Amino acid sequence: MINDYPMSTNKLPEKLPVGPLRDTVMFPGTSLPIVSGRLKSKTALDQAWSGNRQIVFVTQKNSRVEDPGDKDLYQVGTVCLLKRMIKNPEGEYTVSAEGLARVFLKNYTQTETYLEAEVEEIPELYEKNEETEAMTRTVKEQFRRFIELGGNPLFDPGTLSNWAMVSQNEDPNLLVNSIAQAIDFKTIDKQQLLEMVSAAERLQRLSELLAKELKILEISQNISNKTQERVSKMTREAILREQMRSIEEELGEGDGGQNQEIREFETKIKRSGMPKEVREKALKELSSLAKMSQLNPEASYKRNYLEWLTDLPWKAEGKAKVDMKKAEGVLDEDHYGLAKVKERILEYLAVHKLSGQTRGPILCFVGPPGTGKTSIGKSIARALGRKFVKASLGGIRDEAEIRGHRRTYVGSMPGRIIQGIKTAGMVNPVFMLDEIDKVGLDYRGDPSAALLEALDPEQNNAFSDHYLEVPFDLSNVMFITTANILDTIPPALRDRLEIIRYAGYTEDEKFHIARKFLIPKQVKSHGLKESKIIFTDEAIHEIIQKYTREAGVRNLERELAAVIRKVARKIAEGNKEKSFNITPEEVAKLLGPAKFLPELAEVEDTVGTVTGMSWSEAGGDIIFIEVTLMPGKGQLLLTGQLGDVMKESGQAALSYVRSHWRELGLPERFFYKVDVHVHVPEGAIPKDGPSAGIALTTAIISAFTKIPVKKYVSMTGEVTLRGRVLEIGGLKEKVIAAHRAGVRTIIAPENNRKDLEDIPDYVQNDVKFVFVKHMDDVLKVALTRPPAPKSFKQQHHVPYSALA
């Protein structure tokens, strides 16, 4: 059923039916087709149609509400005149409505069968002034620009009945209504424009919305233009390429559709020496590439894959001969000291020479930073005449870094092992996996698990990289790994490694390294001649002792470089001296005050103070253990930033003393009245480990018995509750540090006697070693006199004052 009626101009009634709208806002002075299918909405339309054909269209706050009530609708709507209404066979109503006026819905009088409300008209008033005129012109210009940029208004401006008002009429409210209805703004923004009363504010808000739409259109147009240019260029190149191919075929220069690139890949595959299964895979990918269009993105992926396959060294090998004398000479030439490390490397090379195979244990160099772990790998490669490749594993947390990314990912590539083999250009390089102890683990996989296959001599002859998808033989690669600590290396991976420990350099070794390697290197890198700057032996020792504290020589090299740099500046500024002699006094002037002052042994025999020895990654050092007694309740106080193990050693030492009170000449119940405070100076430095056990025990016994400890005696060793002295580690570094501090007698566990061979001869000649098995042996050497055991009659009622 279709009905047409002319527009009504009667005054608005007080009550009108309400028609809810979803995602649509109706403005006065505009026409809009509306489709309604909900029962209440159709009833409201019927009620309006049977009366004066007027209805209030109000927008829903939430378009998903099927049966909206008064709280689901905004409070401002538009009274519309129903010009035409069609009832479709499907039950829907299609109406043509024209907006008459904005109204405020004061109160809903009907909500059951349909919505009806009392309304109050919002007058369309405005003040004509310069500001309003300016905003009107701005909005018109923005709308014109919007259409020029390809904006799509909801209605064609040429068919709008009130388009003349949009372009010519000066009524700002009508301008806002017409443009807001024509452009697809957000519903909430349109409702805001409908509710605003001030014409100037409505124009300002509409201008802001138009400015935002214009910005979006400009960006969209720029993107469209760039895309069009790119497509046009690709199309042009494709046409020219096809023309060139047709010309080649006409001239008889074509080759079955294969271009020059395909022929080059065929040649590379034939010459590469690939295994049969790899060659078949390569030819299959090449055939697929030849059939592809150059415009196909997959073509670049296949081309990159074929380049990797053909560039890998499938058969090229380096020199296989091993000259043992040359290898030994290279190691001695490049590194000073490290006798045990060099010996193990030469044994490894000897087995390789006799067996002709590189299969064997994977070497893992473990030690502090700066001790030459990485550089010795380069020396091994030079001794063997092979290429050296290094892959740093520090911070790696993705398994794909080792095994590669699958080709389904954009930007995929092989893992670091295959990349290193390609860089070397041979199948048997010396491959160093640096910082293997710093490999991480997260949701992307475990890189250390991927290393298991690569480092296992029994299965790395068919290493599988996710990118290559074909096996690669790594059995000829000599893998070397480095680490600072072993604790973080997974047990399964550590089981495949042969650990070679770097103990760090002694002061004498550092001196020779500086004299033979570091100083010539730095002098040359600073553009000087060796005759221009001369370091005295005392100056080098001064730098080592007072300006560095490390196991390696990196900081030593930096300090030497700082001295040479300052000399180079003097020469560059015109100093005419023939040569510069660097003495300890000059070192102090150039480098400033000493950064580290070496600890010196006690100057006199002292009660309750013992000189111990410690070891860290920076090398050895001496420590002082101080014990004092106070009236108390038998508590033990440990200070000096001690670790849990060292605290337990202190508790064990006190328990030993308490259990041997009779042999030590102490009262039976002495500990009930005395608190024991054990302190290790330099509290800012963490200290831990069991090796201070005998030093702690001796200091406590000395404090209780008031027997002084000999000043030139230092000791190290773990103690048990029964007084047995157990083996410790790092004896070489500890002894050298004690010797440097002026210690002349060192007490060490009997089981450490074997470590004497590692200690330099000049130290052994100056120091007396006493190897002990029990605390009784320690006390005989450490104290100025042995404790006097108590008889049975003396066991009771000895006051604390007797200990003071």
**Residues belonging to the active site:** 691, 734
Q: Do 210 and 184 contact (CB within 8 A), yes or no?
A: no
As given in the structure block, the two tokens for residue 449 are: 């698990």
Q: Do 740 and 765 contact (CB within 8 A), yes or no?
A: no
For residue 50, what are the contacts with CB-CB under 8 A and spacing of at least 6? none
DSSP of 24-91: ----TT-EEEEEE-SHHHHHHHHHHHHTTSEEEEEEBSSTT-SS--GGGB-SEEEEEEEEEEEE-TTS
- Cβ atoms within 10 A of the Cβ of 478, count? 23
Q: Do 656 and 697 contact (CB within 8 A), yes or no?
A: yes
Query: Which pairs count as long-range contacts for 240-248, CB under 8 Å and 24+ apart, including other chains?
Result: 241/294
- CA gap 393, 448 in Å, rounded: 10
Alpha helix (H) residue ranges in 682-730:
693-705
- CA gap 758, 236 in Å, rounded: 76
- Cβ atoms within 10 A of the Cβ of 601, count? 18
- CA gap 420, 381 in Å, rounded: 14
| CB-neighbour burial class of residue 358 (10 A; exposed 0-12, middle 13-18, buried 19+) | buried
Torsion-angle region of 456 (φ positive above 0: left; ψ -120 to 50: alpha; else: beta)? beta
- CA gap 32, 49 in Å, rounded: 17
Strands 362-366 and 497-501: parallel
- CA gap 509, 651 in Å, rounded: 38
The pair phi, psi for residue 278, each rounded to 5°, is -70, -40
Nearest to 484 by CA among 374, 346, 605: 374
As given in the structure block, the two tokens for residue 364 are: 């893992």
Q: Do 554 and 370 contact (CB within 8 A), yes or no?
A: yes
Chain position carrying tokens 């001496």 = 622
- CA gap 284, 84 in Å, rounded: 70
Q: Do 160 and 32 contact (CB within 8 A), yes or no?
A: no
Strands 388-392 and 430-434: parallel
Helix (H, G, I), strand (E, B) or coil at 140: helix
- CA gap 44, 350 in Å, rounded: 102
Nearest to 27 by CA among 214, 154, 138: 154
For residue 626, what are the contacts with CB-CB under 8 A and spacing of at least 6? 608, 609, 678, 679, 680, 681, 699
- CA gap 758, 263 in Å, rounded: 63
- CA gap 106, 118 in Å, rounded: 6
| CB-neighbour burial class of residue 4 (10 A; exposed 0-12, middle 13-18, buried 19+) | exposed
- CA gap 219, 230 in Å, rounded: 17
